[in-house]
Amino acid sequence: MNEMIYLDHAATTRTLPEVTEAMAPYQDIYYGNPSTIYEFGEKSREAIERTRCFIARTIHARPEEIFFTSGGTESDNWALKEAVHLYESKNGRRKGHILTTPIEHHAILNSCRELEQTGCGVSYLKVDESGRVILREAEEDVLSRENVCLISVMYANNEIGTIEPIDELGRMAKRRNLIFHTDAVQAYGHLPIHVQREGIDMLSASAHKFGGPKGVGFLYIRREINLPAFVHGGAQESNRRAGTENVPGIVGMGVAAELAHKRMQTERRKIRYLRDYLAHRVLQEIPDVIMTGNRKFRLANNASFCFKGITGEAAAILLDTQGICVSSGSACSTGSLEDSHVLTAVGIESEWARGAVRITLGAENTKEEMDYVAEKIKMVIADMRGTR
Ligand code: PLP
């Protein structure tokens, strides 16, 4: 068994060895700037375009619809802020309105907050107790406003793993002629995605969530949407995203995407089996615990629990002393712990939300590790409750 058991794959993943190997020549051999006119830059240019074509194929988009960014946060900021600019410039400066959910990542929520400062409206679609958008109510929200400039709903939630009804939302957006963005940072590379069939106009993804390097991602923008540039400067990325391209990062993301798609079915099956095994043991053997999120529409690697009467942070720290990396559910804000906004939005009471522990598996985890982890969770929770 490994010295450390890593169970925080929703936070980040190990860069796969094949990825590191593929990136290396673009640091020290083919290091030419892709924008140069001499031939030396050609290799990096080719590598970027090859990756663009491959990534486009994985989501059934066209290569010219893929724009490389510095990751999920930038892609989300770009999609939201420029969709609002686009709407305002098309509608004589009339203020737009964004429909999103209360369980989005902070890259979306804080972008919305920023946009509200400029007069843009934001409302939050209702989600059920498992975190899924309630479609009937979403439809009413859409109908009740005239100035909706964007619907943005995450593909899958990073805390509780719930997969949203993306194709239904995409169809709803199409019926109303509205732009539909999805933050697919937790889904891309883990679930098959078809932007045409699912009616997705913009999609954010990030390499470090599927075995690629940190600091690189992409935004898919449907060709018909003339989304303005967000980062201004040079003419890179067809004048839409300035800055010398992160060539090694882009190459690494391409290889990671290739491996993720090749291994998706088998890895998903294995991970789901291990997740279910661990979840079963935790739910059977520990009192006063609930599993959050949706049982059916759920990322295969996510097991998120709330243990009554403890704090998730303390549990994560104690598990760390046992060589186990997991995440807790709270955010540290000015020195005090706040309940997760996701758990609050799905109606989990504070007494339970405080005890949130998120476990996210990867392909390298084993059943032996799950048995060890189940025993250690049992021990740590009993210690904290004083029941051992
Ligand atoms: N969106 C979601 C759903 C995420 O889980 C994350 C990262 O945790 C992000 C956006 C931000 O991505 P990045 O770390 O690439 O900026």
pLDDT in tens, 94-128: 999 999 999 999 999 999 999 999 999 999 999 99
Nearest CA to ligand 1 atom 14: 72
Structure tokens at 210: 């599927």
Residue 67: per-residue pLDDT: 98
Q: Which residue has the tokens 């309630």?
A: 134
- Ligand 1: centre distance to CA 242 (Å): 21
Residue 299: per-residue pLDDT: 98
State if residue 152 touches ligand 1 by the CB under 6 angstroms criterion. no
Q: Which residues of 136-157 are buried (b: 16+ CB within 10 A; e: fewer)?
A: eebbebbeeeeebbbbbbbbbb
Residue 372: per-residue pLDDT: 98
Q: Please check whether residue 139 is in contact with residue 109, taking contact to mean a CB–CB distance below 8 angstroms.
A: no
pLDDT beneath 50: ranges in the chain: none
State if residue 206 touches ligand 1 by the CB under 6 angstroms criterion. yes
Residue 388: per-residue pLDDT: 79
Angle in degrees, CA 64, 74, 178, rounded to 5 = 65
State if residue 154 touches ligand 1 by the CB under 6 angstroms criterion. yes
Give the separation between CA 179 and CA 81, rounded to whole angstroms.
Answer: 13
Q: pLDDT tens-digit profile of 209-240?
A: 999 999 999 999 999 999 999 999 999 999 99
- Ligand 1: centre distance to CA 327 (Å): 15
Give the separation between CA 271 and CA 210, rounded to whole angstroms.
Answer: 14
Residue 337: per-residue pLDDT: 78
Residue 314: per-residue pLDDT: 96
State if residue 162 touches ligand 1 by the CB under 6 angstroms criterion. no
Residue 330: per-residue pLDDT: 65
Alpha carbon 43 to its chain's center: 31
306 among known catalytic residues:
no
- Ligand 1: centre distance to CA 119 (Å): 26
- Ligand 1: centre distance to CA 190 (Å): 14
Residue 329: per-residue pLDDT: 76
Nearest atom, ligand 1, residue 207 CA: 15
State if residue 44 touches ligand 1 by the CB under 6 angstroms criterion. no
The one-letter amino acid code at 255 reads: V
Predicted TM-score (pTM) of the model is 0.97
H-helix or E-strand spanning residue 205: strand 202-206
State if residue 141 touches ligand 1 by the CB under 6 angstroms criterion. no
Give the separation between CA 9 and CA 206, rounded to whole angstroms.
Answer: 13
- Ligand 1: centre distance to CA 183 (Å): 8
